[in-house]
Each structure stands twice: as C-alpha cells, then as structure tokens.
Amino acid sequence: MTTLTLHASGPESPAEVWDRYARPARWREWSPQISRVEVPGERLAAGLRGQVFGPVGPGLPFEVEAVDDAAREWAWTVGLGPVRVRLLHWVAAAPAGGTTTGLRLTGPAPLVLGYAPLARLALGRLVRPLS
C-alpha cells in the first residue's frame, strides 16, 4: 500500500468548494475524469453507495465512509473486488483568502501514482471559479 497527499489552493470560497464535493452531481463540473455519478441521493452521507463513471468503460463502485460537514471532510473507497483506493478529502480556508483543499490517497502504488496527475488537475479546478 502507498499513501500520497496532494493539495491545491485557489480563490473560490470554502463554502462553494465544499458544495462541489457534497453534491455528487457536481463532481463532473470540476473533475475531468468523471463523466457522471450514479447515487441514490443528492448529498454525501456515510454509507452512501454508488458508481462513478469515467469518459470510457464501466462505472466503478464506491462507498462513502464518513462525512463531517462542520469540518468539511469526507472519505470514500472506490474500486472493484480487492483492488480499492481510499480517498480522504478536506476543505479549509486558505490563510490569504480563498480555499486550500487536500486529498490523501491510499491504495496499491500503481493506482495511487497513476491517478495522482488527474487528481492534481481536478483539485486545481475545484478551487477555482467554474467557466
């Protein structure tokens, strides 16, 4: 197992960034690797299960492990069978204004390291105004 932590800062407000996380229907707005999300609810909640779809191929099942709206943190696991990646996300006000967001990925090294460039891109878009 490998763990990697990524950060991004930008001008968007923490409340808006958290809303982009908290409503899975919004994930595709800022995450170019996500084309759609299928979930039986509108907001993140512990125990929520669904599927996340990329631009090609089948969807990957996921389960939200924990959500803390007050702390603006959440964790989920995505993957098939024994091949899984755990993602822990958080949102905080940046010292100079705007938002800093973080992501800690834990899983098999090839998946974590292979996903890191896409995750960096998505985090950078997450903390900026959407065009």
Three-class DSSP labels, 12-48: CCHHHHHHHHHCHHHHHHHCCCCCEEECCCCCCCCCC
Cα(41)–Cα(4) distance, integer angstroms? 29
Task: Give the chain's domains with CATH numbers.
Answer: 2-126 (3.30.530.20)
| pLDDT, average across residues 112-129 | 96
Q: pLDDT digit string (tens) for 17-74?
A: 999 999 999 999 999 999 999 999 999 999 999 999 998 888 999 999 999 999 999 9
pTM, full prediction: 0.93
pLDDT band at 87 (very low <50, low <70, confident <90, very high): very high
Alpha helices in the chain (DSSP H): 14-22, 27-30, 109-126
Residues in the chain: 131
Nearest to 118 by CA among 33, 59, 14: 33
- Provide the mean pLDDT of the chain: 95
Cα(86)–Cα(88) distance, integer angstroms? 7
